[in-house]
Structure 1
Amino acid sequence: MTRTNKGHSIYLQLILLLTVAAAAAGIAFVALDTAGTWLIDNYYDTPEFNRKKDSFYIEKMQQYIDENQLGYEDAAELRAWVKEQQVISVRIYKGNTLMFNSDNPEQQSIEEDAQVEEYDWITFYPVEFADGTAMAGIWGWYVYQLYNYVWVAALIASFVLFLLLTLTGIRRKMAYIARLSTEIGILEGGSLDYEITVKGRDELSTLARGLDDMRLNFRNMIAREAEMVRENQKTITEMSHDLRTPVTSILLYTEILKKGNYADQEQLAEYLDKIDRNARRMKQLTDHLFEYSLVSGGQEITLEEPESYEELFYDLLSETCSFLGQRGFQIEAQMEWRSTRVRIHTEYVARILDNITSNILKYANPQTPVKISTLYIGKMAGFAFENEIQEKTEQTDSTCVGLQSIKNMMQKMGGSSQTYQLDGRFRIEILFPCEQEASGS
């Protein structure tokens, strides 16, 4: 399984998403606030706008004075009204006497040298009080509220943008999780050919890749099990056929003997000899079947510690060559011992060599040499046995069980077994995985 790149982890992606969203929101806030301030400065903060607002508040103050019958001296009521408006300041003059100052109540009823007309930056309006007419000067920070509104609106808009960007990024991951959940449901339904979607290089993609690898392994395991079932059925069928011949012969000759249908003692001995040969053939076939049932089962084996390839097999192959030579076979051995180490299960290796030797004795032509050689393919080391196939002069028992047993035993040891038959020659190759291989060999 591919490991997650730390630079693409979900944690860092979330931090990056929040950082980008915050940066975009900050830029949006500055842009909106600047644009709003420019609009206020150019379209609202003007003398005409200020005069309109002044007139509005003067009318509002006049209405308040009329409703409450206020006079010049009712400063507390006037101050309360001005404070309620929040954005204006008011001065009231009776002649040259300052009657009311909302910014500084201490200056009330103080005669000033300055004339009302000298405050040219303030617009004065006549106001009718209960005790006479006075001039009211008013000014305000009317656009101040607009600036606040713009600031709040820009803040809200930028916060909404931040949420949208964050939720959009999170939604993509949630959509991927939902898709994985759907695809897992498809796998649970048995559709092992459906490929899990792998996107990105974060923890979710690693999980998806692991699920897809698990799908492939499970599918391959089911395929292997189905193949084993087919091989077992084929083996049983062939074994039944192989057993049927000697059983039929035994029944035939025993029936002959029971009825006494033989000419003399010589023919009786011949029939008994045929019964004996067929019985031995049946025993050998049943022994092979028993061995096949043992190695094809689900029981796991424990491999021995790695040892030198030469030390493990030199004596075993020497004994095999010596035995075949004693049985009349010529041996051509081509051995190249490389410095490598393998792990084996000794009992299985002994059975494998016994089966190979048995096949050679039954099917090899003793008039041509049997070739035995070491074999190295990639990171695998093993042996090859090759012989010419002898023409059959009589019915011989099948070798399918023995070869299948060899294949099963090699697979359990992590190796492989391959057989080839071409132009009247038979070749079997067995390979073990190497634990260590010397580079100079």
Structure 2
Amino acid sequence: MARTTSKKDSIYFQLLRLLVISAFAAVLVFFVLNRAGDRLIENFYYNSDYEERKNESYIRKLQQYIDQNELSSRDADALKSWVQKQQIVSIRVNKDGMQVFDSVYPDQELWEEDIEANDYGWEVYYTVSFADGEARVSITGMYAYQFYNYAMLAELALSFVLFLLLVLFGIRSKMAYILKLSDEVEILEGGSLDYKITVKGKDELAALAEGLESMRLSFQELIRQEARMVQENQKIVTEMSHDLRTPVTSIMLYTEILKKGSYKGEGQWKEYVEKIDRKARRMKQLTDHLFEYSLTAGEEEVQLEEPETCETLFYDLFSETCSYLKQQGFEVSFQVEWPQSRLRISTDYVMRIMDNLTSNIMKYADTSMPVAVSAVEEGNMVGFLFENKVKKPEEETESNGIGIQSVKNMMAKMKGKCMTEQKGERFRVLLLFPGQTV
């Protein structure tokens, strides 16, 4: 039976756990990269002349723009337009000691307010030539933000790549296992049922692998059973051919003698007729056994009846069997303490089994010793043991084993067992049924 997968071992839970761990690792790496990136940018920006070079570059651009458009220091709209196009800079224009333009307040005409220019120590001023004379221009650029933005994008990209790699790496092992199972199924499809399916883990894939392995073992056992049945059938056919050949030959011999009249008197004639009759009856017994065997072997799974106690199921049947054997000259030792277990049987099968056993006892048992019947319990199985003494060699009757094989087939279909054993003159048949506690 396939295992039941717990929630914590399921593929869904494993995938969720993988996503959470990968996301946590990616976020952690992002923060580490972000801190490291910020420090690198700060070290580069404040320990180099990058800002100075960028300021000078934008001042040159501003001077070219002023020269091309012949702007005065009071052309606020034109200056505002240039600042907006640069996007990352702001400027302040001081002329004759007065602040005449500030890109932070581009819509105000500062020269009309007589705002005195204030020089801040941290600002750097550049001389720019306007149409109305030279002015001092202070420029402030947000150059570092570009680096921070680029670094942020790179950090996000690296963290996302790490997240994908961790997820793909975690999924890869499951995919490899799925591919391995696929390859192993192809091996089984090719007929190599001796190849064992790999069972790894505790999730749904492991349960599937266990199911495949159980199916492989079932197919393997089925093939072995079929091979045994074919071998048994061949053996039985061979034995039946031999057993039938002997009485047929005898019947033909005696018939030929009677046809030619090569007998001495009416007494010998009756003797030959009786021999022909015995041989014919022997042939009928053989064909009856063969029919019983083929009927049992060809039947589908038997429908078992509702559980009943052993005494309820077998009391009447044993009473009839013992009475019949006593009528035929056998002594029966019936020492049965009825087990308390309940059994599920097929009454039709059990009656046919008892008929076969009774027939075997009558043909092969010695009447000088009693037939012993006793109850047996082995583990969770209960049943009955039949024991008798076989006939002496001069009284031995040929046996082809079809009757016992039919009993074994019927017991197997009832999930039971039939075991036979012969030690010297003692022959034993053990019938076991799976029991249920009352």
Q: Same fold (TM over 0.5)?
A: yes
Q: Counterparts of 1:131 and 1:154 in 2: how far apart (Å)?
A: 49
Matching residue of 2:10: 9
Matches within 5 A, 1:196-275: 196-275=197-276
RMSD, matched Cα: 1.9
Deviations 1:213-235 (A, max 9, x none): 11111121121111111111111
Matching residue of 1:333: 334
Matching residue of 2:374: 373
**What is the TM-score normalised by the length of structure 2?**
0.94
Q: CA deviation at 1:51?
A: 2.6
Q: Is the 8 A contact 2:236 2:400 kept in 1?
A: no
Deviations 1:287-307 (A, max 9, x none): 111111111103332222211
Deviations 1:163-215 (A, max 9, x none): 22222223332232222222222222222122222222222221221122111
Deviations 1:97-124 (A, max 9, x none): 22221111215325757455x3212100
Q: CA deviation at 1:318?
A: 2.5
Q: Counterparts of 2:346 and 2:210 in 1: how far apart (Å)?
A: 35
- Matched residue of 1:93: which SS? strand
Q: Is the 8 A contact 2:127 2:135 kept in 1?
A: yes
Q: Counterparts of 1:343 and 1:7 in 2: how far apart (Å)?
A: 40
Q: Is the 8 A contact 2:335 2:374 kept in 1?
A: yes
Q: Counterparts of 2:434 and 2:333 in 1: how far apart (Å)?
A: 25
Matches within 5 A, 1:138-217: 138-217=139-218
Matching residue of 1:291: 292
Q: Counterparts of 1:111 and 1:138 in 2: how far apart (Å)?
A: 22
Q: Is the 8 A contact 2:244 2:283 kept in 1?
A: yes
Q: Comparing 142-151 with 393-402, which one deviates more in the overlay?
A: 393-402
Identity in percent: 55
- Matched residue of 1:44: which SS? helix
Matches within 5 A, 1:41-190: 41-46=42-47, 48-105=49-106, 106-110=108-112, 114=116, 118-190=119-191
Q: Is the 8 A contact 2:94 2:117 kept in 1?
A: no
Q: Counterparts of 1:409 and 1:297 in 2: how far apart (Å)?
A: 11
Q: Is the 8 A contact 2:125 2:139 kept in 1?
A: yes
Indicate yes or no: 2:54 matched with 1:40. Answer: no
Q: Is the 8 A contact 1:309 1:340 kept in 2?
A: yes
**What is the TM-score normalised by the length of structure 1?**
0.94
Q: Comparing 272-281 with 104-113, which one deviates more in the overlay?
A: 104-113
Deviations 1:269-315 (A, max 9, x none): 11111111111111111111111111110333222221111121122
**Which amino acid in 2 is paired with 1:407?**
K
Q: CA deviation at 1:322?
A: 2.6
Q: Counterparts of 1:148 and 1:104 in 2: how far apart (Å)?
A: 26
Query: Unpaired runs of 5+ in structure 1?
Result: none
Deviations 1:129-181 (A, max 9, x none): 23322111112222122111111111111111112222222333223222222
- Matched residue of 2:393: which SS? coil
Deviations 1:362-409 (A, max 9, x none): 222222232211111111111111122222215623141101010011
Q: Is the 8 A contact 1:384 1:429 kept in 2?
A: yes
Deviations 1:218-253 (A, max 9, x none): 121121111111111111111111111111110110
Q: Counterparts of 2:404 and 2:319 in 1: how far apart (Å)?
A: 22
Q: CA deviation at 1:425?
A: 1.7
Matching residue of 2:437: 437
Q: Is the 8 A contact 1:62 1:127 kept in 2?
A: yes
**Which amino acid in 2 is paired with 1:416?**
K
Q: Is the 8 A contact 1:295 1:405 kept in 2?
A: yes
Matches within 5 A, 1:321-360: 321-360=322-361
Q: Counterparts of 2:298 and 2:397 in 1: how far apart (Å)?
A: 27
Q: Comparing 158-167 with 324-333, which one deviates more in the overlay?
A: 324-333
Q: Is the 8 A contact 2:99 2:116 kept in 1?
A: no
Aligned CA distance change for structure 1 residues 342 and 360 (closer, same or farther; 3 Å): same
**Which amino acid in 2 is paired with 1:78?**
L
**Which amino acid in 2 is paired with 1:174?**
M
Q: Is the 8 A contact 2:26 2:162 kept in 1?
A: yes
- Matched residue of 1:109: which SS? helix
